[in-house]
Amino acid sequence: MRDLVDHLGVIRALIIRDMMVRFGRSHLGFIWTVLEPMILTAGVMLVWSLIHGATLHGVSVIAFVLTAYMPLTVWRHLTNPAIRILRNNGGMLYHFPVVPADIILGRLALEYLSTTAALAVVFFVIASVGLVKPPAEPGLMLLAWAMTGWFYAGQGMIIAALTEYWEPAERFIPPLNYLALPLSGVFFMVDWLPSYAQKLLLLNPAVHCFEMFRAGLFGESVATYYDGYYLAAWSLGLSIVGMAAIYRVRDHIQIQ
């Protein structure tokens, strides 16, 4: 129990350090982490509204884009910064209490908190002007957001370890993420697809993240397909593999 408390203290200190490094002492830095997804989401909403009109397959285009690009922001922020994170922060390992897991978990926690703040601001702004309705099932929507964070945090841990074990991995991860994008559920809902495609795509746990998030927002007014237990099993498996890889990675870190 004492070790857990000590590690939590180290992670908290690393989060504060990362905030100072990334945002400095200016509030504008943190505000930009909120503005970036807002600008991206607003731009996509405008383009999709011009192309598809107000609705797409009976779903509000603005609400659909919101449920697509906010979880996508979690995906980007929990996986991309994990590339070479230990190598870039290896100097922290000279401090005795700090272990690789602390560095990774601290950064993932900061990224998740910043994207959660972005979601809160984006949703409040859009809802306050009447562009989206309040969530039909807010508890489910929050659970989906938490599950999405868990799933992509597991991926982030594996990426962080993999890019230390095998240096060329950093060149393959961004292209693989782009290739996975069309199959993730960002650009479609499962109900829009033929049955054979639905069965295949539901094997992808990422699809369950987006479908579950949309189920929380739309409720029963829109058909959604997801399995929370399936997503949890994948998230747990990724977390176990990621933590095991991180536990053994220290000897492979090339400190810059």
Residue 166: helix, strand or coil by DSSP? Answer: coil
Rounded to 5°, angle at Cα 48 from 45 and 52: 135
In this prediction, residues 57-81 reach a mean pLDDT of 90
pTM of this prediction?
0.89
Higher local confidence (pLDDT), 84 or 216: 216
Q: Six-digit token pair at 140?
A: 């489910």
Q: Six-digit token pair at 220?
A: 């029963």
The pLDDT, as a whole number, for residue 255 is 58
Closest CA to 135 of 44, 57, 70: 70
User: Which residue type sits at 34?
Assistant: V
User: Strand pairing partners for 60?
Assistant: 55
The pLDDT, as a whole number, for residue 137 is 95
- Does the pLDDT at position 70 exceed 70? yes
The pLDDT, as a whole number, for residue 122 is 85
The pLDDT, as a whole number, for residue 27 is 58
Residue 134: helix, strand or coil by DSSP? Answer: coil
| Count of structural domains, the chain | 1
What are residue 212's phi and psi, to 5 degrees? Answer: -65, -40
The separation between CA 123 and the C-alpha centre of its own chain, rounded to angstroms, equals 17
Contact partners, residue 199, CB within 8 Å, separation at least 6: none
Under DSSP, the state recorded for 132 is: S
| 73: containing domain | 2-252
Q: How far apart are CA 164 and CA 251, in angstroms?
A: 9
Q: pLDDT digit string (tens) for 17-53?
A: 777 776 665 556 667 767 777 777 778 878 888 887 7
The pLDDT, as a whole number, for residue 23 is 65
**Residue 208 CB-half CA count within 13 A:** 23
Q: How far apart are CA 49 and CA 181, in angstroms?
A: 21
Least confident of 84-98, 143-157, 172-186: 84-98
